[in-house]
Amino acid sequence: MDFNRLYGRVLTTVFIFNGIAEVFAFLALKGSTVQLICPYKHTVAGTLDWSFKSRTATSPTIYTVGKTVVSFLPDELKQRLTVTGNHIIGEYHLNISNIRESDQGTYECLTGGKIDQQALNVIVGPTNISIENETSDNKIPGKEGQDMTIKCTAVGGQPQPDIKLVILGFTYTGDQSAQHTFKPQRTNDGSAITCQAGYTEINFYPLITEAYIHLMLKPIITPFVSDTLSTEETKSFEVSCLSTGSRPAASMHWLLGQKRIDVTSNSSSQSNKEPSTQTYSVTSNLKYRVDRSYNGQKLICRASNVVDYMETLLTLNVKCKSN
């Protein structure tokens, strides 16, 4: 983006004596160069002059007379002022380089009794932008299916910068900060979040940051192939249960009968991390023996982590010991 340019112009009104005059307010970025154009041409005797009045001053200060910058101004200011335009046809425009906050105020060009006023507002851009809770590796932590608030905030800026926060293709805006709360789904994991800080009116967004949704994911349990497990009360049975897609790894539990007796201590589990998705699969193997009182009752495998849990179950078909 070209910083040596006028960034914006909006129409405002001010009261002058008993009448109302239209004043164009220009927006300029600190450090840029602006040109204030006088709409009048100097075609009569005398000169076309420029003056400036700050917001705290009681009266204007003459800046230029004709094409000459007045001598009594501070050196640093004189060095930043020039009168441009085709003087032969009466053009006398005021250029101000290296715009500073002290340049903010009202400028007047005066010739032959005609006055034009232009207000200059200096924009000081924000110095930093950040997404709340973002980790050092640009991840925003959340939990699948649970409320997640993403907030972006800018530091500094005058006036308050506009914030554009883009989440899953939707844009959320605010002054100085913007945020949105939603329930992320598994498919949102890894999605990019972008945030910009700047000024919509002049289409200037100097700061941008990007991060990625990183979710804790609930386990997905694989249903048993059969609904029934047949066993004999004199023998131990063996059964396996598989959980996939969790982050962090799931804990596996085995629950038996109407009272849901925890028989997990009779099982062993193995966990594997999938490099491509950074999720975990866990296989649990249970070896256990039941008597005839458990015939027709349920054996439940539960996979759980900090996000949620999921279960699958079998009906036991216990064959009695023959006499």
8-123 CATH pick, 3.40.190.10, 3.30.2020.30, 3.20.20.70, 2.60.40.10: 2.60.40.10
**Domains 128-215 and 220-319 in one fold:** yes
* 285-291 mean pLDDT: 96
Report the percentage of the chain scoring pLDDT > 70: 92
Q: Look at residue 150 and tell me whether its pLDDT is greater than 70.
A: yes
CATH architecture of 128-215: Sandwich (2.60)
Q: What is the average pLDDT value for the chain, to the nearest integer?
A: 91
Angle at 170 between CA 153 and CA 218, to 5 degrees: 85
pLDDT of residue 13: 30
Question: In terms of C-beta density within 10 A (0-12 exposed, 13-18 middle, 19 or more buried), how is residue 320 classed?
Answer: exposed
Residue given tokens 């497990």 in the structure block: 229
CA torsion 261-265-266-269 (nearest 10°) is 120
CA distances from 243 to 24, 186, 223, 246 (A): 67, 16, 9, 8
Per-residue pLDDT, 201: 85
Closest among 8, 124, 106, 101 to 57, alpha carbons compared:
106
Domain regions of the chain by residue span: 8-123, 128-215, 220-319
pLDDT of 282 over the 80 cut: yes
In angstroms, rounded to a whole number, what is the distance separating the alpha carbons of residues 72 and 70? 6
Query: What's the pLDDT tens digit per position in 39-80?
Result: 999 987 889 999 999 989 999 999 999 999 999 999 999 999
- The CA distance from 26 to 105, in Å, is 10
Lowest mean pLDDT among 19-23, 57-61, 106-110: 19-23
Distance of alpha carbon 131 from alpha carbon 119, whole angstroms: 35
Q: In the prediction, which pLDDT does 279 show?
A: 97
CA 68, CA 29: separation in Å to the nearest integer?
26
DSSP state of 145: T
Question: What pLDDT, on the 0 to 100 scale, is given for residue 253?
Answer: 98
Q: How many other C-beta atoms can be found within 10 angstroms of the C-beta atom of residue 240?
A: 12
Tens of pLDDT, residue by residue over 218-258, are 999 999 999 999 999 989 999 999 999 999 999 999 999 99
Q: Domain 220-319 class? A: mainly beta
Please tell me the distance from the alpha carbon of residue 119 to that of residue 27, in angstroms, as a whole number: 9
Helix (H) or strand (E) holding 318: strand 309-319
Provide the whole-model pTM. 0.79
Q: What SS3 string covers 132-186?
A: CCCCCCCEEEEECCCCEEEEEEEECCECCCEEEEEECCEEEEEECEEEEEECCCH
